[in-house]
Amino acid sequence: MQEYWEIYMKNIDGYPSSVLFNAGISMDIEKFKYIYTQVAFIKVKLKEANEKGLLSGDEKAKINYLEDKLEASLIKFRIGKYVGRVISNGYVTFIYYLQFTYNWQDFLNFALKDFTDYEITTGFRDDDEWNFYKNLLYPTTIEWQIIQNHKACEALELQNDNINRPRFLIHKCYFIEDINRRDELIEKLSKEGFDYVEEITHEEGYIGFSFTRIDKPYYYEIDNITLYLIELLSKYGATYDGWECDIIKDLD
């Protein structure tokens, strides 16, 4: 199993929420769902949530310590997989998929013995289709795009790029099933100020094309651009496949 984690923000029941999840485990769900058939949660009420109901700096060290203790207990009792964490509306919820439940209480006792001053709710239920992982933790297409946008912006900033400087952004799209509306899409993009660059072929054989426009690769601006393109391209049977740009640094 590949192990890598992503964190992003989303709205859950009207509240801003921070979601941390193991993205690598998604590749093995079809195998794991027959082994780890119960979803379990540990819901902790925060003592010092900030004004948005999220984790404050003052409480971060304590919650990180709690997460470390849970990890140590998971290794000790080997009851399942830790798949994610949600912070929302004044609570942090740790989510697991269990292979066994007979030692669930032993797992909790070992992990939570230093946290009796917290209000904590725990439980588990059947979920052999991993719906909690798929529908709560795993990002939608739009949420994935925002994650990738912000990672790209951070990478540019690490190279001292001024992401507020406009430049040519090159976008890509592919036609997975039907390419018949390709020319219509190119015409529509032209009306939106985008220029066709060239035809491209995906490694899996899908045909598509790249197109460009001068914009800023700044966090919220690139979010607005790419989310609009996802919606627009889908109307013409195309799938958006990201963007790239040159690095621009300010001269001293």
Residue 73, both tokens: 């207990």
Output the pLDDT for position 100. Answer: 87
Question: Residue 151 and residue 173: Cα distance in Å, rounded?
Answer: 20
Instruction: Please give the domain boundaries of the chain with CATH numbers for all domains.
Output: 5-137 (3.30.70), 141-245 (3.30.70.970)
pLDDT at 97 over 80: yes
Tell me the per-residue pLDDT of 14-72, one tens digit each, with 9 for 90 and over.
999 999 999 999 989 999 999 999 999 999 999 999 999 999 988 999 999 999 999 99
pLDDT at 252 over 70: no
Q: Which amino acid is at 49?
A: A
Contact of 6 with 23, CB cutoff 8 Å: yes
Tell me the per-residue pLDDT of 171-201, one tens digit each, with 9 for 90 and over.
999 999 889 999 999 999 999 999 999 999 9
Q: If DSSP codes are grouped into helix, strand and coil, which group holds residue 240?
A: strand
Q: State the CB neighbour count (10 A cutoff) for residue 46.
A: 20
Contact of 175 with 202, CB cutoff 8 Å: no
Question: Where does 89-206 show beta strands of DSSP type E?
Answer: 91-98, 120-126, 167-175, 195-201
Strands 15-22 and 80-88: antiparallel
Question: Residue 147 and residue 137: Cα distance in Å, rounded?
Answer: 13
Output the pLDDT for position 95. Answer: 98
Mean pLDDT of 132-158: 95
Confidence of residue 152 (pLDDT cuts 50, 70, 90): very high
Pick from 223, 245, 224, 93: which is nearest to 161 by CA? 245
Mean pLDDT of 95-105: 95
DSSP 15-40: EEEEEEEESGGGGGHHHHTTT--EEE
Q: What is the pTM of this model?
A: 0.85
Instruction: Using alpha carbons only, give the angle 202, 233, 224 rounded to the nearest 5 degrees.
Output: 110
Whole-number CA gyration radius for the chain: 22
Mean pLDDT of 138-156: 95
Question: Residue 169 and residue 176: Cα distance in Å, rounded?
Answer: 23
What share of the chain has pLDDT > 70, as a percent?
Answer: 98
Output the pLDDT for position 249. Answer: 85
Tell me the per-residue pLDDT of 205-251, one tens digit each, with 9 for 90 and over.
999 999 999 999 999 999 999 999 999 999 999 999 999 999 998 76
